[in-house]
Amino acid sequence: MSAQENKTGLPLVHLGITRPEELSALFADLRGRFNADCACALDESSWKQFRDTWLGRKSGVLAQITDNWLKPATPELKRAVGQQLNELRAHVESQIESRRAAIETGTEETARDRVDLSLPGVIRPVGSRHLVRQVFQEIEDIFFSIGFSVVDGPEIETPYYNFEALNIPEFHPVRDDMDTFYLDLPKGAPTPLLLRTHTSPMQIRTMEKQKPPVRVIVPGKVYRRDNPDATHSFAFHQIEGLAVDTDITFCDFTGTIEYFVKQFFGPSVKTRFRPSYFPFTEPSVEFDVSCPFCAGTGTAASGGTCSKCKGAAWIELFGAGMVDPAVYGFVNYDPKKVSGFAFGIGIDRLAMLKYGIDDIQVFFQNDVRFLRQFP
């Protein structure tokens, strides 16, 4: 506080004070300032500065009052100034002392401002990868280990890539299953567009771009006009696989799938395949795995029917097959020189099986209580 501010640098006459009654307001103002200063002295160094401001021998506020107000005061004022000064001094000294004691013992007010290093810090929640992402990664790692690489493709496709080039002509009945979401396009658009119904179009896009040998997997989202229930969703996930080379046999195919299934479910499972049909593979198969929950017996540990395979001992996994030679015709590969296999794995289904999830909808609801179970 400057002398100017607290008026203690000037004799009382200069302040226009001539009568004892006029002193009260002056001292009350000083006391108010002292109290405000006192509240700011929260540690030893600020307390010392505060003490010197008020009690400093030469230029402390009280010394100035003595020098500038008391000593030159007129006889009428002297008594009153002396009395008020004594009262103020008593207040100042006792408050300065109790502030010192408070700082020393670290009571309330000062504790509030101290840093307590033992308090826990601010915890910022870190997100984790969604279970579907984790399963993608698991499967990708398995295929990386045997020489496959990952490619990515568009979720909006043309009917050519989604159907025709996969040997599914316009009025082929399998299109019924994939009757899906078309985009509203302006009149005169060169081609209709739809949300891809499977990751298989990437077989075509990959072979268009690269000559054999091809060994790729394609993780991604696909869309179908399915009504949501515990096992269906209009958006879900697949991993496509494609291997094409000059000498790939059906044995390479089943061996690769068996390797993958054992890596994913554990070495004790068995695989089998059954004949199936897809327009872009010939022959086509459906792969099954022996039920990992009842060790392929169909009977639960409790003695009842296994609830996972419903007593069948086998669980249907995914479709696959040897690439149909007709498909090579769409990508300028010579079907007499190359052969290969393809597969399309439903990721949601595999994740549900492996992690015991009975409703596909939980993958899309983003309920953190579910997500936290798979950190």
Tell me which residues touch ligand DAH (CB under 6 A).
198, 200, 240, 278, 281, 319-321, 342-344
Rounded-to-integer distance, Cα 251 and Cα 254, Å? 5
8 or 200: CB nearest ligand DAH: 200
23 or 166: CB nearest ligand DAH: 166
22 or 226: CB nearest ligand DAH: 226
204, 327 contact by CB (below 8 A): yes
193 or 242: CB nearest ligand DAH: 242
Min. distance of Cβ 349 from ligand DAH in angstroms? Answer: 11
User: 248: helix, coil or strand?
Assistant: coil
Min. distance of Cβ 345 from ligand DAH in angstroms? Answer: 8
Query: DSSP assignment of 307-332, as one string?
Result: TTTTT-SEEEEEEEEEEPHHHHHHTT
160 or 370: CB nearest ligand DAH: 160
Min. distance of Cβ 375 from ligand DAH in angstroms? Answer: 31
Q: Report the alpha-carbon angle 239-328-193, nearest 5.
A: 60
Which residue's entry shows tokens 């007709």? 326
Min. distance of Cβ 348 from ligand DAH in angstroms? Answer: 12
Q: By Cβ distance, which residue is nearest to ligand DAH?
A: 344
Min. distance of Cβ 286 from ligand DAH in angstroms? Answer: 9
296 or 346: CB nearest ligand DAH: 346
- Can you list the alpha helix ranges (DSSP code H) found in the chain? 3-6, 23-40, 44-55, 61-64, 75-105, 108-113, 131-144, 159-162, 201-209, 250-265, 325-330, 347-355, 362-365, 368-371
B/e letters for 300-310, b = 16+ CB within 10 Å, e = fewer, are beeeeebebbe
Min. distance of Cβ 259 from ligand DAH in angstroms? Answer: 17
